[in-house]
Amino acid sequence: MNTRFTYLYRDASNWKNWGEIIVSGWRNDAEERLKKTLDYGEFFIADQVNIPQKFFATIDDDDHCWHEFHSLEKTDQEANDSRTIDELLTAFEKVAQSEMGWHEYFRVA
C-alpha cells in the first residue's frame, strides 16, 4: 500500500494546476501530522520539500510561491517518488520547525 499526495497551485486569477506524487507506505496518522506542518493547515512551498512545482508558464506580479495540500489517499499504484511516507512527513516537519519555516520567495524551476 502506498500514499498518493495530491496538491495544486492556484494562481492569482484562481486558475488551478494539479499535481501528485506517490510515496511508498501508508500511515493512518499521516494527514493529521502533515496538516500540523502546513501554513494555515493547507499551504506549503513545494520547492522546500522537493515536490514538483506546478506553476503556469506565464507568471505575473500577483502570483506567488505557495501550493495547496489537497489530500492523501491509499493507492496500489507504484511509487513515483523515492521517499517513504515517513520521509515525506519528516521533510515537511523539518521545514515547519526550522527557524525560517515556510519562507516566501519566487523561483520557478
Give the per-residue pLDDT at 10. Answer: 93
- Grid look-up 520539500 returns 49
Query: How far is it, in rounded angstroms, from Cα 18 to Cα 10?
Result: 9
Report pLDDT digits (tens) over 61-81: 778 899 999 999 999 999 999
The predicted structure's pLDDT at residue 107: 52
Percent pLDDT > 70 in the chain is: 95
Q: For 43-64, what is each residue's pLDDT tens digit?
A: 999 999 999 999 988 777 778 8
Ranges of beta strands (E only) in 11-105 are 16-24, 43-44, 67-75
Rounded to whole angstroms, the Cα distance separating 22 from 54 reads 16
